[in-house]
Amino acid sequence: MSATTLPSQTLEIPIRGMDCHECTLHVQSALAALKGVQSVNVFLASEKAAITLDPAQVTLEAIRAAVQGAGYSVPSTDPETAEVAQRQAQANAFARRVLVLFGVVIGIVLFVVVVGEWLGLFESLTALIPYPVGAAAVTVAALPILRNVLRAALRRQIIAHTLMSVGALAALLVGEWATAGVVVFLMYVGSTIEHLTAERTRRAVKDLAALAPQKARLLRDGTEQEVPISAVTVGDEVIVRPGEQIPTDGVVRDGQATVNQAAITGESLPIEVSCGAQVYAATLIQHGYLRVQVTAIGAESTFGRIIKLVENAEAHRADVQRLADKFAGYYLPVVLLIAALTLLLSGNALAMAAVLVVACSCSFALATPIAMLASIGASARRGVLIKGGKYVELLARADVLLIDKTGTLTLGKPRLTDVISLVDMPSDALLRLAAAAERYSEHPLAEAVRGAAAEKGLAVPPTEHFEAVAGMGVRASIEGQVITVGNARLIGKEVPEATALSAQGKALLYIMRDEQLIGILAASDALRPEVPAALETLRKLGIRHIELLTGDNAQAAKTLCAPLGVPFRAGLLPEDKIRVVREYQARGHTVVMVGDGVNDAPSLAQADIGMAMGAAGSPIAIEAAPITLMGENWALVPHAFQIARRTMQVVRLNIGFTALYNLVGLSLAAFGMLPPMLAAAAQSIPDIGILGNSARLLRHTPTDQ
């Protein structure tokens, strides 16, 4: 009899304590080493690991032990155990914060002292502190970092802090405890930046999940009852009234309503839905009433999938290793070999120490982050917030730009474009009647009508007996006339004058006076005025693949894109945008996605670089995107590309200069021509060159190419 083979199982395990990309690599390596684990994806943003495994070979206890062995923890589901673990985690976190604070304070003081002595401002100030005291202080401050480096070394990994740790230990070996302290301080600066970035990313996922509907008005046996969303099942019917979120995906079985689907499609213009229409969870009814039969709930709904896509987008990204780390990975073994050969051939321990000290100059720590910080600072002054240096590197090589429409390429709210009178009445008189009828309406098109009347300075008459006509529009008594303003359902027939406007993708409002059609209003979402020039600059920068992705209809997209010369894909849901991003990535392109709404969050996360429009954008999209444009000026987009490319030129120059300088220093130290104390002092020279070169980025101004 053959043994029964259990199918593979995928578990999602929460993990606590991860602060950076290297943390996820530690956890992934530890879990992948377990027998029976088939694949592992570790997510920093959502603090979890997705593990595909053979349940006959891997237990939860083994997973927990592997994670703990890597220096992290898996929260317990047992309340008592979880409470003990939480107290222990809090104690550990407090201890880490104390050590970090201690290291930062020591580092700042030592940095001032070392630089001051190099400039001749202090005379042997560090000599006032005995070496054992200084070395002990630096060692205690460096313990958390040294522990991570040791863990990585045991797993045969070289991380960003490995090279600098060797330099710090070498400095201690030759008595340069102050220099070692400065190296430790710089390592803490990098770790802190990564930790803050991770926390902002986690908030994005939590804020997005908070938008999901929590309750539903369930219809059972002819009665309505408000229940938690978890009590709803597929096939149930729910009732949704004005101002309420649709709680689930479903099909309309009764009623008519105006639904704002911005949470799903991102489009500002609401749609009219009636019997047979598909509706989505988290969308909002503005007017009307719906009875909806449930087709998908919670994580299976369209909005639930959006949340899942944001959480899991990390798994589909290629790992971007910092340029300095890559160089250090090859450089460190060579340095150790040269130091060993120096000791073996010369027997001179001081020469060996000098090799280690000069090779591990702080310039390796400064070469990349100083340039990145200068770039990020210069960009911030122009309203471009970049969440980390790795995104600068990715943006510098990007060659595909995908763009959302509403609120990104356009202003995000409709504006009245046409007022057509069908009777003997001036257009301004028609507009003032329509504005009066729409006085109390909250529909976006009503706002456009009122706004147009205000711009013209029209005196809008008072409104009497206002009422909303479900699924059609509004009706009011104005100056003794009954004025009705609404959609095509009001008239129930085609109007020749409306055909051309509809062909341009414009939204139409029909105006009736006492049952007679007297006029048509047309509105559309206007293109941002600076977009054409910005797109032209991007083409000059070499961005040849520019494409519009929108949930709007094809005609509206065509009208917008034709004068811009930009291809488009219309009628897309968030999953479709994700698919387009992956198509480009599969062909080897580096993709930038520019968006603003909740519906853009998954594609912003999936793209190599997500760029969120900030002022008018959704906070969720802003948190999900590595780059945020705080203003609504599209000129900021090519500026971001320009400064990213210039930054990488500066980084390459920094690293090249450091490598050349250290090659000369290594040669002099290996032949005994550079004593350890002089080697330690010589570390400052490349630092100054790197600081000066990187400072050029602070003066960067965008060009039109």
* Cα dihedral 612→614→619→622 (10° resolution): 30
**Tokens describing residue 304:** 């639930």
**Tokens describing residue 286:** 């503005």
CA angle 621, 393, 410 (to 5 degrees): 35
Element (H, E) at 410: strand 410-421
Strand order in the sheet with 223-228: 223-228, 215-220, 237-240, 290-296, 249-254, 278-279
- Cα dihedral sign, 174-180-182-187: positive
Separation CA 267–CA 657 (nearest Å): 50
Separation CA 515–CA 483 (nearest Å): 8
Does residue 605 contact residue 624 with C-beta atoms inside 8 Å? yes
CA angle 342, 346, 348 (to 5 degrees): 85
> How long a stretch of residues is the chain?
705
Three-class DSSP category at 286? strand
Separation CA 668–CA 679 (nearest Å): 9
Does residue 577 contact residue 600 with C-beta atoms inside 8 Å? yes
Separation CA 258–CA 240 (nearest Å): 12
Please give the DSSP secondary-structure letter assigned to residue 316.
G
CA angle 303, 308, 312 (to 5 degrees): 150
Q: Which of 386, 408, 392 is nearest to 566 (CA)?
A: 408
Q: What is the number of other CB atoms lying within 10 angstroms of the CB of residue 120?
A: 7
- Cα dihedral sign, 131-134-136-138: negative
Separation CA 448–CA 453 (nearest Å): 9
Separation CA 637–CA 642 (nearest Å): 9
Separation CA 630–CA 625 (nearest Å): 12
Which of 19, 236, 249, 404 is catalytic? The answer is 404
- Going by C-beta distance under 8 Å and a sequence separation of 6 or more, which residues neighbour residue 143? 99
552 catalytic residue (yes or no): no
Separation CA 83–CA 64 (nearest Å): 17
Does residue 510 contact residue 486 with C-beta atoms inside 8 Å? yes
Does residue 610 contact residue 593 with C-beta atoms inside 8 Å? yes
Does residue 596 contact residue 612 with C-beta atoms inside 8 Å? yes
Does residue 212 contact residue 131 with C-beta atoms inside 8 Å? no
Annotated catalytic residues are: 404
